[in-house]
Structure 1
Amino acid sequence: MDSGTRAMVDAVEEARRQLRENALPTSKEGWRARVPPAEERVMLGALADLVEVTAELATALSDRMTTIESPHFYKGAGSRLGDQARYLREAEQKVARRLG
């Protein structure tokens, strides 16, 4: 694996590790109180940021793939992830409007 590809894989794996070790366990703790609306908006924004950058990465990688089908898969994933990021942004904006 060339150093550029390795750096991308390492960055994605580090993000996954951080989410699994830090964010996911905290989100599953049943004893915690509900998330306050202002923090809910911030969390929606953070999730939207994460999905947006993942969509950008998938789309950018589509131009670098060499097998016949891979560019299509990466572009499709980038498009679908972009849709989900927009969904999260809309939810973030709705919560922000509700908060005034």
Structure 2
Amino acid sequence: MDSGLRAMVDAVDEARRQLRENALPNAKGGWRDKVPAMDEGVMLGTLADLVEVAAELAAALSGRMSTNASPGFYHLAGRRLRDEAGHLREAEQKVAKRVG
């Protein structure tokens, strides 16, 4: 594995580790108070940001694959991730309108 690819893998691994160790335990903490209505959209936007970056990575990688089938897999994954990020953005806007 070349150093550029290793750096990508390491960055994704670190992001996953940070999410699992820091964000997920806080989200699962049932003893915590409910998220204030004014802050609900913030998490939708944050999740959209995360999914958008994953979509960008998949799209960027699609042109670098060596086998015939793999670019299509990455392209499709990137498109689906962009679609999901769009759904999150729509929800973020709906929440913003609802809470003012």
TM-score of the superposition, structure 2-length normalised? Answer: 0.97
Give the RMSD, CA atoms, in angstroms: 0.7
| 4+ long deviations beyond 3 Å | none
Residue of structure 1 in register with 2:84 after alignment? 84
Gaps of 5+ in 1: none
Residue in 2 that maps onto 1:96:
96
Give the fraction of aligned pairs with identical amino acids, expressed as a percent. 72
Matched residue count: 100
User: Which residue pairs with 2:11 in the alignment?
Assistant: 11
Distance 2:3 2:75 in 1: 23
Q: Deviations over 1:25-53 (max 9, x none)?
A: 11111111111112111111100000001
Residue of structure 2 equivalent to 1:34: 34
Q: How far is 1:76 from its partner?
A: 0.5
Shift of 1:68: 1.3
**Cα distance between partner residues in 1 of 2:3 and 2:37:** 43
Q: When the two structures are superposed, what TM-score results if normalisation uses the length of structure 1?
A: 0.97
Match of 1:45 in 2: 45
- Alpha-carbon offset, residue 85 of structure 1: 0.1
Q: Where does the alignment leave 5 or more consecutive residues of structure 2 unmatched?
A: none
Q: State the Cα deviation string for residues 4-38 of structure 1 (Å, max 9, x = none).
A: 00011011001000000000111111111111112
Residues 1:55 and 2:71 are matched in the alignment: no
**Cα deviation, residue 79, structure 1:** 0.4
